[in-house]
Amino acid sequence: MSIHDDPNIDKPNNAEPNDDTPNGDKSRSLPDNPFAGLTRAAADSEDSDERWMEEALRLARLAELAGEVPIGAVVVSEGRYVIDTDADGRPLDRRIVDRRIIGRGHNQVVSLSDPCAHAEIQALRDAGRTLGNYRLNGCQLFVTLEPCAMCAGAIVHARIARLVFGARDPKAGAVGSIMEILNHPHLNHRIRIAEGVLAGRCMDILQSFFRQRRD
């Protein structure tokens, strides 16, 4: 059981949320190339991780309105690299453009009577339909809560390149909280991971939801 389903989950009281910086970003540097000495402007997002997490939070609020545990997720496409140059044509910087949301999802386990209808699963399904492919190579998944074991497994099967999540799930999180499914040494797919993006707001909406349920 995960926080998606359990209204009695304990909430961490000693966490220090950071809504400005994606703490714990384990993203690897870009592959070596002739521009390897350049700075990495927006190397992992077109604008910022917060931009995409804001949409995940909007979806979480939709779940809340439907009486579901408020968790939201989006899948963002790979985009493409652009090299900026100076007046003499010398490379100055590299950045990624043309990123867009290709999959959206929020918790729907109650409304669909589906134990698998977690926000991440719904977003991955939507992205797969958009691309016409179950492999989402190069894409990123943004979710308001640390994925559970089921969702972590789906992330691996989808070949997501990077996972960004907001708050940790101390009861069922499978990205380090109670187990580590992603980047397991026996798996052949590696995923870059960032956590803590808008963590305070991601946890606040969950705590508010359960507080109202108890009142």
Residues marked active site are found at 120
Nearest residue to 79 (alpha-carbon basis) of 53, 34, 44: 44
Pairing of strands 140-145, 72-76: antiparallel
Strands (E), 11-155: 39-40, 72-76, 80-85, 91-97, 101-106, 140-145
User: In the structure encoding, which two tokens stand for residue 88, read together?
Assistant: 């003499």
The angle subtended at Cα 151 by Cα 43 and Cα 118, nearest 5°, is 105
User: In the structure encoding, which two tokens stand for residue 189, read together?
Assistant: 């797919």
Query: Identity (one letter) of the amino acid at 120?
Result: E
Crossing angle between the packed helical segments 49-65 and 119-131, to the nearest 10 degrees: 120
